[in-house]
Structure 1
Amino acid sequence: MAEVARGGRRSVRPALSAALLLVVLAILLTLGTWQMQRLAWKDKLLADIAERHAQAPVELAAIESMWRGGGDVEYRPVILKGTFEHDKERHFFATWNGQSGYHVYTPLRLTDGRHVFVNRGFVPFERKDAETRKGGEISGEQQVVGLARARLDGKPSSLVPDNDLAKNVFYWKDLDAMASSTGIAPENLVPFFVDADNAPNPGGLPVGGVTQFDLPNNHLQYALTWYGLAAALLGVSGINFWRSRRR
């Protein structure tokens, strides 16, 4: 009886090993395929961004019409006119060219009384206070050329710190909080941002044209890693099977 029991255990072990091998192999292949799908999505996204960036800017009304129709306004060139309200600027923590600092989001008041939050560009950490860069606070009606940027539906990750409204430091672009903290009513707010282009600022700061176009695209590398692990697993399993057969 003992010999029968041992024989039964020996016959079960290969079956369990084969089942485990198939499960792990399926997981690795699934992860590799998912990364290939992400690669196709990222390639299309980068192509769309490049195509939109090359287009001529259109009036703000055209971008708003697209947004109301459910269209994607991201990275679409836009031209708008208004007056900056520098006393209401909001500061988004950012790095640029190896420096830590802030992107300055300033409400642009349009002729119809509504506001657009414009990312005017980067200022170093020590120049956060607008008093240190008064020369860059241009007055009067201005024409702004830039790119429309969609608002976020919510905090992008639990790892991102909460916005510090008391210190006017934002770690994620909460358009509603930016508006409410400056007293701008929701009905007077254009529902997306605009990143200003790199037109020279007479005061030097903020430095415009900070929109990031080179989005990370490592999906092919990740896919090859998962597929490589799957191939290695098959190779090692095949060698072990061959050795066991010889024994």
Structure 2
Amino acid sequence: MSSASERPTVTHWRPGPIFVVAVLTVLAMLIALGTWQVQRLAWKEALLERIAERIAAPPLSLAQAEAQWAQQGEIEYVPVEVSGRFDHDGEQHFLATHQGQSGWYVYTPLELRDGRALIVNRGFIPYDRKEPATREWEEPEGIVSFTALARDPLAEKPSWIVPDNAPADNLWYWKDFAAMREAMGLAADATVPFFVDIRSYGADSGIRVPVPGVTQVDLPNNHLQYAVTWYGLAAALAVVAGFMFFRSPNRKEW
């Protein structure tokens, strides 16, 4: 029987150049992803601050809002004061939820004093009140005034998981401005080039339905969490790789 001093020594694998290059490449990628998320965090916080400032600002006239749109090419969440007459025959319905209830956002063309039209999200109605004949309230006639938030039209469908709109069935899943304008029978050169969402009517309007003030400004901001995750993975990789690289190449195992 051999003695303990004669037992063989096990030689452990030492990382070579290919391993080092691979680890450094992955480490650089993880750090880059973490840094990108930090940059995205700064961008998102600035965006949220900008939106908050806009919403809190005094409302513009529709003419001022149009001038800003023409100059900047965007008008998202800018408060606007509007007045006109609703054309209820052009009403369109956007599938939505409000405070946990399924239903519709009612989009209606508003006839302006100068003869043009503005597409207005009037607010929320319950799912079973889509057809006017099912409603127990009367739609407003004559000139109405309200404050609203301007909304930019979307350049394309937000995601492939969003269903396609069905204009023939008056069923909308995303705000396709051109298609909605066409479904309402509005001319492109006689329509304000953005939407508005009603925030509130005048105190003496008596209008309660559709429920206004449904604009959602809850933008997710998970970039700090993502940055911590990527940097954490980078740190873990560095620790594991360092342990493998610097441990003793020869060690006796019993």
The TM-score normalised by the length of structure 2 is: 0.87
| Aligned-residue CA RMSD (Å) | 1.8
Percent of paired sites with the same residue:
53
**2:196 matched residue in structure 1:** 194
List 4+ stretches of structure 1 deviating above 6 A: none
Cα–Cα, structure 1 residues 244 and 130, in superposed 2: closer, same or farther, change >3 Å? Answer: farther
Structure 2: how far apart are the matches of 1:184 and 1:33?
47
Structure 1: how far apart are the matches of 2:161 and 2:138?
34
Cα displacement (A) at 1:131: 2.2
Query: C-alpha offsets along residues 41-69 of structure 1, whole Å, 9 cap, x if unaligned?
Result: 11011101111111111110001011111
Cα displacement (A) at 1:246: 5.5
Structure 2: how far apart are the matches of 1:187 and 1:241?
69
Conservation of the 8 A alpha-carbon contact between 2:165 and 2:173: yes
Structure 1: how far apart are the matches of 2:187 and 2:23?
59
Q: Flag structure 2 segments of 5+ consecutive residues without an equivalent.
A: 1-12
* 1:166 alignment partner, SS class: helix
Which one has the bigger helix percentage?
A: 1
**2:225 matched residue in structure 1:** 221
Which letter does structure 1 place at the counterpart of 2:226?
A: Y
* 2:79 alignment partner, SS class: strand
Cα displacement (A) at 1:239: 1.8
Conservation of the 8 A alpha-carbon contact between 2:109 and 2:184: no
Conservation of the 8 A alpha-carbon contact between 1:136 and 1:205: no
Cα–Cα, structure 1 residues 134 and 185, in superposed 2: closer, same or farther, change >3 Å? Answer: farther
Which structure would you say has the larger Rg? 2
Aligned residue pairs total 237
For CA contacts below 8 A with separation 6 or more, give which structure has more relative contact order: 2
Structure 1: how far apart are the matches of 2:176 and 2:187?
15
Conservation of the 8 A alpha-carbon contact between 1:136 and 1:203: no
Which letter does structure 1 place at the counterpart of 2:239?
A: G
Query: C-alpha offsets along residues 128-185 of structure 1, whole Å, 9 cap, x if unaligned?
Result: 2222225251111001211111111122222211101121111110111011112111
Which letter does structure 2 place at the counterpart of 1:146?
A: A
1:82 aligns with 2:84: yes
